[in-house]
Amino acid sequence: MIDGDRSPAVRAVCVLAPLAAALAHLGPAATWLPGPRRRWLPALAGRGRPDHVALTFDDGPDPVSTPLFLDALDALGVRATFFVLGGRVARCPDVARETVRRGHELAVHGWAHDRPWLPSPGRDARELFRAAYAVADVTGRWPRWYRPPYGILTSGRWAAARRAGLRPVLWTAWGRDWTPHATPASVRRTAAADLRGGGTLLLHDTDHASAPDSWRATLGALPEIVADCRAAGLALGPLAGHATAGTGAAALTGATPATASAGAV
């Protein structure tokens, strides 16, 4: 009788334990939802100075498309934050260095552009540190910001970012510029729908994880997006000039490059 009574409970545990683990792993990824994020987690959404817009690009560097964005930004007199993939930096270190030389900021987008459906905290930590070291090797200093691929912040990635002394930042507006049907007009229109003073705009300087040649729509939209912001009295720049004082990675996480390096795995 006792064994029979226990059997259903054991079976329930066997069923529910994996579900609980999956919820603990993926639950924080609900921060991907833009409405709740903007309302309840403004720092994660990238809210900053009300007279400023943070211009950010994901997925590079790319030897073909990224230099064209650098030229366009030079012509517009704008600097930005590039969330780079560590694997791409390893393949294109000269492009990454040129991005920094032209006054832009490099931040961490992970090592590869993958979706973390299964829990793997050890892998998350290793790959995040590996990407951060790739950025540090190019810039000469430890990076400040982290944006996971697809904006999916699992519990493992939250923990890895904290250990690495990186501040997670997502976005308040995007251009939806990764789709095969994106045009300069659609990118501009989509970005304008949610972009306000103090916001962070997500764009892409490469089609590494997007539809082929989709970056051309972004490049074509860039002058108009900049003009729209300036017409509204908003300055554009990197996240380094966007966040308020005291919101750097060390202030938020308690980690510094020294302690982060010591915790690398």
What's the CATH number where 209 sits?
3.20.20.370
Give the global pTM.
Answer: 0.81
Q: Does a structural domain hold residue 178? A: yes
What is the number of domains present in the chain? 1
pLDDT of residue 40: 62
Q: Does a structural domain hold residue 228? A: yes
Q: Does a structural domain hold residue 26? A: no
Print the domain residue range for 222: 32-262
pLDDT of residue 30: 54
Strand 52-58 vs strand 81-84: parallel, antiparallel, or unpaired?
Answer: parallel
DSSP bridge partners of 237: 54
Residues annotated as part of the active site: 58, 204
Question: 42 vs 21, 154, 191, 247, 253, CA distance in Å?
Answer: 27, 18, 18, 12, 16
- The tens place of each residue's pLDDT in the chain, 265 residues long, gives 445 555 654 444 343 334 333 434 444 445 545 666 566 678 898 999 999 999 999 999 999 999 999 999 999 999 999 999 999 999 999 999 999 999 999 999 999 988 765 667 788 899 999 999 999 999 999 999 999 999 988 888 999 999 999 999 999 999 999 999 999 999 999 999 999 999 999 999 999 999 999 999 999 999 999 999 999 999 999 999 997 434 433 333 334 443 444 333 2
Q: How far apart are CA 20 and CA 256, in angstroms?
A: 32
Crossing angle for the helix pair 184-194 and 215-231, to the nearest 10 degrees: 50
